[in-house]
Amino acid sequence: MFAAETFDPRLMWDAAAQRTIFEGVPVAAGDRRDVKLSLLVETYDAEMLSIYGKACGWALARAHAKAGDPWTISGYLGNGGQFDEAMGKFALAYADQAERDHAALRTAVRAGIVEVQIEH
């Protein structure tokens, strides 16, 4: 899936032991240089291309959401109602969970498992 432009033959991955090996010695490897990788998207079928596109959109939206730029986030969401539907479903599920949590808390209070202090 990836085509590496650079390769160090001394650095290997021991799949059985799940560790990186450098000249026969296990090491904790990190990025010491800028490694260039290319995805071979021209080999993707329609399903894989769709998955790749969604993953790219997710990664970009998440990165921009951390930056908090509403116009950029809005651009990734587009004009369709898919995000609105997803947020609505999430809100309903969250409300249902909050009601279940509150009912469990009330039950625990009545059973004496949780102590309540009333403030006036």
pLDDT digits (tens, 9 = 90+) for 74-101: 787 778 888 889 899 999 999 999 999 9
pLDDT value of residue 101: 93
* 7-16, 35-44, 93-102, range with the lowest pLDDT: 7-16
Neighbours of 63 (CB within 10 A): 11
Cβ proximity of 58 and 73 under 8 Å: no
Structure tokens at 96: 């249902």
pTM: 0.41
Q: How far apart are CA 70 and CA 76, in angstroms?
A: 10
Q: How much is the average pLDDT of 57-78? A: 77
70-77 vs 46-67: helix crossing angle, rounded to 10: 160
